[in-house]
């Protein structure tokens, strides 16, 4: 079972990165939190890997930090949470904020994540609160960043990524319309800022 991969970034998008490991390209699915921090294509990168084996496929999920991987695997222990939903949860909330929400029993914060209703939020808190405390995963969360200028050519890609994550198209387009249209930040940062605005 693959637990760690080191290779050069051949290509990337908000959902996955292709790692060239000695001439073999591995497609590794990633949450937005990892996508935000990826270096340029061609750069050597090490990802912590969770290998998910199904009857008809093997899927790799990658994370920059061991903590992200640990949270991903914790989420998979919850009834009804599969790898796609676990990845989507980590795309919407940073591990430290997730830990804090679980320990506080913040159902409203968890329910704001697309695909997570009240019942699933309650299940996450019930099944993970004690584990998070026991593992010492609780840290202080950060503050939201203000909106920044977005290049129109980047906004289409950002909109597509957010819609694929489960946000309604009209809400996504309204949020992105609030960004200034001058050339500005790269896609990774615009995506992060848009997501923070959507989570308010």
pLDDT per residue over 43-74, tens digit each? 999 999 999 988 888 999 999 988 889 889 99
pTM exceeding 0.75: no
Q: What is the CATH number of the domain that holds 25?
A: 2.40.50.140
Mean pLDDT, the chain, whole residue set: 82
Compute and round to an integer the Cα radius of gyration of the chain: 17
One domain for residues 128 and 97:
yes
| Higher-confidence position of 84 and 149 | 84
Q: Roughly how many angstroms between the first and final C-alpha of the chain, as a whole number?
A: 39
**Res 152 pLDDT > 60:** no
One domain for residues 21 and 57:
yes
One domain for residues 78 and 126:
yes
Percent of the chain at pLDDT > 90 equals 38
Range of 102's domain? 67-134
Question: Which residues have CB under 8 Å from 88's CB, separation 6+?
Answer: 31, 113, 114, 115, 165, 166
**Res 91 pLDDT > 80:** yes
One domain for residues 169 and 123:
no
pLDDT given at position 182: 39
For residues 137 and 95, is the Cβ–Cβ distance under 8 A? yes
In this prediction, residue 137 has a pLDDT band, given cuts at 50, 70 and 90, of low
One domain for residues 167 and 194:
yes
For residues 91 and 192, is the Cβ–Cβ distance under 8 A? no
How many domains are contained in the chain?
3
One domain for residues 95 and 48:
no
pLDDT given at position 150: 44
By CB atoms closer than 10 A (0-12, 13-18, 19+), residue 1 is exposed
Angle at Cα 17 formed by Cα 27 and Cα 167, nearest 5°?
Answer: 110
One domain for residues 36 and 75:
no
Q: Is residue 144 part of a domain?
A: no
> Of the ranges 74-78, 152-156, 179-183, 194-198, which one carries the lowest mean pLDDT score?
179-183
């Amino acid at each position: 079972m693959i637990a760690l991969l080191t290779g050069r970034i051949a290509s990337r998008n908000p959902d996955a990165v292709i790692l060239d490991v000695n001439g073999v390209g591995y497609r590794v699915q990633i949450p937005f939190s990892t996508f935000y921090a990826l270096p340029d294509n061609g750069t050597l990168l090490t990802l912590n890997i969770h290998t998910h084996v199904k009857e008809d496929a093997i899927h790799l999920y990658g994370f920059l930090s061991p903590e992200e991987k640990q949270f991903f695997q914790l989420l998979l222990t919850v009834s009804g949470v599969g790898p796609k939903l676990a990845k989507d949860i980590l795309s919407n909330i940073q591990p430290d904020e997730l830990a804090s929400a679980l320990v506080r029993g913040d159902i409203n914060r968890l329910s704001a994540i697309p695909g997570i209703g009240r019942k699933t939020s309650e299940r996450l808190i019930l099944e993970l609160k004690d584990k998070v405390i026991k593992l010492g995963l609780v840290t202080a969360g950060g503050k939201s960043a203000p909106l920044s200028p977005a290049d129109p050519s980047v906004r289409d890609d950002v909109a597509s990524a957010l819609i694929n994550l489960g946000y309604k198209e009209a809400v996504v387009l309204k949020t992105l319309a609030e960004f200034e249209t001058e050339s500005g930040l790269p896609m990774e940062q615009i995506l992060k800022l848009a997501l923070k605005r959507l989570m308010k």
